[in-house]
Copies of this chain bind each other. A is one copy, B any other.
């Protein structure tokens, strides 16, 4: 079985020009040429192109891809293993970025501001061994924390006031439920948590029960968020956290 440039390009989701380029630089060469000079790719070339595209997708420059693939030590299985590992690292990194965006959304809703270090954290070079040392340094330095200030929200004034009023309302009712002695995992508290979740979804972003549970954990684990709730009523951070997580379990 063999393919022309156009066929292979369609198959692989790249342009003909890209294949010309890869031929020119010797990265993926067609194993044959027809008498008219047409490129003719076979199954083996296809294999190679697939590998190239995967490494490219993972962010490798083409010359590095070439040295990787031309390494006689590395058999196909080794490449698959490496690609597997790199993809899982990317999965982790993306998950971290999703979490960071969610944290930012939540902070914005509450009018809390995150420290600059924290906000760029997820963009770092992401060399795992560096991470431990850097995190140490970052969290040890409490100046960064002191710097954190009120956020000037940039919504339309009226929108913001409406949204804030809605939020305040739920918070007040949480505080009332706590004062009335309703357990955090009671139906009443869980209903409030669900209302809270839907409010976030409506006003900010699509907040699944799982995501909401993550936020719930943060309310007690992150001191700025817990301080926010504790200022409303003592014990409220833990109360809301428990209610939110219980509701998440109930909803799924």
Contact = CB atoms under 8 A, between A and B. Distances in A.
Interface of A: 1, 11-14, 43, 46, 50, 53-54, 57, 75-77, 80-81, 83-85, 87-88, 90-91, 94-95, 97-98, 101-102, 104-105, 108, 116-117, 119-120, 123-125, 147, 149, 153-156, 159, 203-206
A149 B43 contact: yes
Contact of A80 (B76, B81, B101, B123): B101
A2 B148 CA distance: 13
A120 B50 contact: yes
A75 B154 contact: yes
21 contacts: A1-B147, A11-B117, A11-B120, A46-B116, A50-B119, A53-B120, A54-B97, A75-B154, A75-B155, A75-B159, A76-B154, A77-B105, A77-B155, A80-B104, A83-B101, A84-B102, A84-B105, A87-B94, A88-B98, A90-B94, A91-B94
A13 B57 contact: no
Given A57-B123, A123-B53, A125-B13, A98 B84 contact: yes
What is the count of identical protomers in the complex?
2
A1 B120 CA distance: 16
Given A84-B101, A87-B94, A116 B77 contact: no
Contact of A13 (B11, B94, B120, B203): B120
Contacts of A105: 77, 80-81, 84
B84 A12 contact: no
Given A84-B105, A91-B98, A149-B43, A13 B76 contact: no
Contacts of A90: 94
Nearest to A106: B80
